[in-house]
């Protein structure tokens, strides 16, 4: 058990420049595509966190060579994928969902498992899809075993991806290596986080894969080669959101260098969120700068396409001067934890006012008194507690180490950001 982390509180505006490590979503997609490519690739400025290390380890277990390169890069050399492997998914959705369609190309059994909490995360959509494409799989959730035979027939498959866009991306990423390619049809409620599917498609096209997304809820990947490519990873905008929130809730100013002018990352929606809550937002070639107001406004917002921002927006809403209604995020009940239930419980637990709705949250102005904030082994729950703690003395996060999932040293980065601010 880790010791609770007392969140630093400040009385002055926080003003800092905060370089943010690379995107987890882009890093793990780049690693997987490099593992399936026709030649060696380099991944520059990758995120080095638990989720990406788990992806690298899983691919190594399948026979891919991933070595440390210049200035922290990863040099990826593909090889014939081999079975008789045991893969640890941890709590990483991108590993437990993206790797099985690739592992189906291996020759031999591949056994998947992960953290205890990962065993309740939805997996049957991907596994049933693989079965319909001719892959033998034992199990419907972690742990499960995939019986590879060196290739996959491929073809058309209909799934319900309303629980996660990762189900679509998982099949598209490996589809070019299937004999018939893959056509994915979605049959269900709207797919959440569509920008993540757009990210997958953009990256596939960048390595020469033919993708047809001209019809709604239908994606076709033609069979063919995956070119080797040198990738340069953008900063993780969803991780950056927590640091931008620090400037917003304290009336300060935070600059994140190298914020892309054009991106498929859903975290880019944070710019609109901050403007609507009363911040001044400026994007230039030098990065993104956010200046917070004297007091944040509550907002009514649909985060269906950027649901990973929900804990950060909820934390800011606790400190706003009018109610906030977050909509369109029912699917985050199936993330690292049930984020809607967790946020409601923890906000109330520190004296805040929050209610869970069918597809989101309502958070009202209150006078929080502090207390222990539980992270539920969820990195974004942990950073949400840190944001609230900036303005509410006496908040402690029970497991700050869970942030290593996507940020190698969150406490150190947080402390560096606050070093010029006055502590309570």
Residues annotated as catalytic are 308
In order, the DSSP letters of 298-343 are P-EEE-GGGGGGHHHHHHHHHTSSS-EEEES-GGGGGSSS-HHHHH
Is 29 part of any known ligand binding site? yes
75 beta partners: 42, 67
Contacts 24+ apart (CB under 8 A), 210-215: 210/176, 211/172
Q: Give the Cα separation of 407 and 243 in Å (integer).
A: 12
Is 339 part of any known ligand binding site? yes
Is 24 part of any known ligand binding site? yes
Is 193 part of any known ligand binding site? yes
Is 308 part of any known ligand binding site? yes
Is 73 part of any known ligand binding site? no
Q: Give the Cα separation of 59 and 32 in Å (integer).
A: 8
Is 23 part of any known ligand binding site? no
| Strand pairing category for 371-373 and 65-68 | unpaired
What is residue 2's DSSP assignment? P
* Cβ 247 vs Cβ 387: under 8 Å: no
Tokens describing residue 336: 């690292």
- Which residues neighbour 275 within 8 Å (Cβ) at sequence distance 6 or greater? 281
Is 189 part of any known ligand binding site? no
CB atoms within 10 A of CB 175: 28
Phi-psi region of 156 (alpha: psi -120 to 50; beta: other; left: phi over 0): beta
Q: Give the Cα separation of 238 and 228 in Å (integer).
A: 27
* Cβ 302 vs Cβ 327: under 8 Å: yes
306 beta partners: none
What is residue 115's DSSP assignment? -
| Strand pairing category for 253-257 and 15-17 | parallel
Is 405 part of any known ligand binding site? yes
Q: Is 112 helix (H, G, I), strand (E, B) or coil?
A: strand
Is 366 part of any known ligand binding site? no
Is 82 part of any known ligand binding site? no
Q: List binding-site positions for 3-phosphoshikimate.
A: 24-25, 29, 164-166, 193, 308, 335
Q: List binding-site positions.
A: 24-25, 29, 93, 121, 164-166, 193, 308, 335, 339, 380, 405
Q: List binding-site positions for phosphoenolpyruvate.
A: 24, 93, 121, 166, 339, 380, 405
């Amino acid at each position: 058990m880790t010791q609770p982390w007392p969140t630093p509180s400040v009385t002055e505006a926080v003003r800092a420049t905060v370089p943010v490590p690379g995107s987890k979503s882009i890093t793990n997609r780049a690693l997987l595509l490099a593992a399936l490519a026709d030649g060696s690739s380099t991944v520059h400025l990758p995120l080095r966190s638990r989720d990406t290390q788990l992806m690298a380890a899983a691919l190594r277990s399948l026979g891919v060579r991933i070595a440390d390169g210049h200035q922290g890069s990863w040099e990826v050399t593909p090889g014939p994928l081999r079975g008789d492997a045991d893969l640890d998914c941890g709590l990483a959705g991108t590993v437990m969902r993206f790797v099985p369609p690739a592992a189906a190309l291996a020759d031999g059994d591949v056994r998947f498992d992960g953290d205890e909490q990962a065993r309740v995360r939805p997996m049957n959509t991907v596994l049933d899809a693989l079965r319909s494409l001719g892959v033998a799989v034992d199990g419907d959730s972690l742990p499960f075993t995939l019986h590879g035979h060196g290739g996959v027939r491929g073809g058309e498959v209909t799934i319900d991806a309303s629980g996660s866009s990762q189900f679509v991306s998982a099949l598209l990423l490996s589809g070019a290596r299937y004999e018939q390619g893959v056509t994915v049809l979605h049959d269900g409620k709207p797919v959440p986080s569509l920008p993540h599917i757009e990210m997958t498609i953009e990256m596939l096209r960048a390595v020469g894969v033919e993708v047809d997304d001209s019809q709604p809820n239908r994606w076709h990947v033609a069979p063919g080669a995956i070119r080797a490519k040198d990738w340069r990873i953008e900063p993780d905008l969803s991780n950056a959101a927590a640091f931008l929130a620090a400037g917003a809730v304290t009336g300060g100013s935070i600059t994140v260098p190298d914020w892309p002018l054009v991106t498929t990352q859903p975290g880019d929606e944070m710019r609109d969120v901050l403007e609507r809550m009363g911040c001044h937002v400026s994007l230039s070639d030098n990065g993104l700068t956010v200046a917070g107001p004297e007091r944040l406004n509550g907002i009514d917002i649909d985060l269906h396409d950027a649901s990973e921002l929900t804990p950060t927006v909820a934390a800011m809403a606790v400190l706003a001067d009018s109610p906030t209604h977050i909509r369109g995020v029912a699917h985050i009940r199936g993330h690292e934890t049930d984020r809607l239930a967790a946020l409601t419980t923890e906000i109330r637990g520190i004296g805040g006012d929050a209610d869970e709705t069918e597809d989101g949250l309502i958070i009202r102005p209150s006078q929080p008194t502090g207390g222990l904030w539980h992270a539920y082994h969820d990195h974004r729950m942990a950073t949400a507690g840190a944001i609230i703690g900036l303005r509410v003395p006496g908040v402690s996060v029970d497991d700050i180490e869970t942030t290593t999932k996507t940020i190698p040293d969150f406490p150190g980065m947080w402390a560096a950001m606050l070093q010029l601010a006055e502590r309570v």
